[in-house]
Amino acid sequence: MTPPVVLTIAGSDSGGGAGIQADLKTFAALGAFGTSVITAITAQNTLGVTAIHPVPAEIVAAQLDAVLSDLPVAAVKVGMISDPAVAKVIAARAAELPNLVVDPVLVATAGSRLGEVDVVGVLTAYPCVLTPNRHEAGALLGRVIETAEEMVSAAAELAARGPRAVVVTGSELALDVLHYAGETTPLRGEPVATVNNHGSGCTFSSAIAVRLAAGDAVPEAVAAAKEYVNRGLRGGAQWRLGAGPGPLDHFGWSV
Ligand SMILES: Nc1ncnc2c1ncn2[C@@H]1O[C@H](COP(=O)(O)OP(=O)(O)O)[C@@H](O)[C@H]1O
Ligand SMILES: Cc1ncc(COP(=O)(O)OP(=O)(O)O)c(N)n1
């Protein structure tokens, strides 16, 4: 059977754990055919980001044209956007991007700045599934988000800006908060004791996109993505790849 086509619009992580590389592995692991529009090239490993080269907006637009004019894209995940002109290119074509999932990437776990609030903020009002972590939600709202109660109110406030749904993720707490169809639901997962969490947010948003492409409703897609990330974290927990926080096992179905 022909697989559903899913598109990632994101940055490249040379270390392979996050960004485009994590997205394409997630698509493949979950049975989708992955396509990509690269917005930036990062020189990155498990210890951090040492350089960022934004891809010019016209090249981003050309990649988008090439994919959308030929392939039946069923869902789109947007990750790292560092250039306002690139955000504009994507915003201008947002109506053509089905099952849009936006991960408002701002800061890598290792501390490097990958995006700016006023750039990624442009996309948060589109009818997408928005997946900020606590820190990104706080940056978008201009305050600190720490507790579960603060995550609940952040999800509701961000939902009022117009996205189809908001999931505020809670990293190692494994507690995420979903706001969808006027309701806010805490999603509790099994915390995984691991230092290898590089790319968990990219993997989560990509997995949501695949499940939406497959026809899941938003709550089912989010629950399936959460389970997939959890398996990836468990599968990679004993890996020793790099001196910093390592990647997930995207193909770790046996654990
Ligand atoms: N140690 C962990 N144990 C269980 N789930 C985790 C862990 N770390 C992250 N997650 C889950 O991974 C997904 C991505 O969230 P998060 O790590 O907050 O994203 P980001 O990489 O953007 O900070 C969420 O579902 C979150 O609950
Ligand atoms: C190129 C690129 N895009 C996104 C990220 C951030 O990845 P994410 O999964 O949100 O978080 P960390 O892995 O940084 O915790 C990245 N590092 N690089």
Does 205 contact ligand 1 (Cβ within 6 A)?
A: no
According to DSSP H, which parts of the chain are helical? 19-29, 57-68, 84-92, 117-120, 134-141, 148-159, 200-213, 218-236
Where along the chain do its domains lie? Answer: 5-236
Please tell me which residue, 255 or 252, carries the higher pLDDT value: 252
pLDDT at 253 over 70: no
* 192 CA → ligand 1 middle, Å: 9
How many residues in the chain? Answer: 255
Which tokens hold the place of 250? 């995207």
Best mutation site among 198, 229, 250 for ligand 2 pocket (most ligand atoms within 8 Å of CB): 198
Q: ipTM value, please give it.
A: 0.98
- What's the confidence (pLDDT) of residue 111? 76
Task: Give the residue-averaged pLDDT of 47-61.
Answer: 96
Mean pLDDT of the chain: 95
- What's the confidence (pLDDT) of residue 220? 98
pLDDT at 254 over 70: no
- What's the confidence (pLDDT) of residue 255? 45
Does 135 contact ligand 1 (Cβ within 6 A)?
A: no
Least confident residue range of 54-63, 82-91, 102-111: 102-111
Does 138 contact ligand 1 (Cβ within 6 A)?
A: no
Pairwise CA distance, residues 130 & 119, whole Å: 15
8-state DSSP, 31: T
Q: Do 37 and 67 meet the contact criterion of CB atoms below 8 Å apart?
A: yes
Q: Between β-strands 129-130 and 100-102, what pairing exists: parallel, antiparallel or unpaired?
A: parallel
Determine what percent of the chain is predicted with pLDDT higher than 70: 99
Does 229 contact ligand 1 (Cβ within 6 A)?
A: yes
Global confidence as pTM: 0.97
254 phi and psi angles, rounded to 5 deg: -85, -10
Pairwise CA distance, residues 40 & 83, whole Å: 9
* 19 CA → ligand 2 middle, Å: 6
- What's the confidence (pLDDT) of residue 109? 76
pLDDT digits (tens, 9 = 90+) for 129-179: 999 999 999 999 999 999 999 999 999 999 999 999 999 999 888 899 999
| pLDDT class of 113 with cuts at 50, 70, 90 | confident
Determine what percent of the chain is predicted with pLDDT higher than 90: 89
Q: Find where tokens 């994919």 sit.
A: 67
| Domain 5-236 CATH superfamily | Ribokinase (3.40.1190.20)
Which tokens hold the place of 180? 């969808």
User: Nearest residue CA, atom 4 of ligand 2?
Assistant: 19
pLDDT digits (tens, 9 = 90+) for 187-198: 999 999 999 999
pLDDT at 81 over 50: yes
Pairwise CA distance, residues 166 & 175, whole Å: 14
- What's the confidence (pLDDT) of residue 121? 86
Pairwise CA distance, residues 1 & 217, whole Å: 22
Question: Of 64, 40, 62, nearest to 51 (Cα)?
Answer: 40
Does 233 contact ligand 1 (Cβ within 6 A)?
A: yes
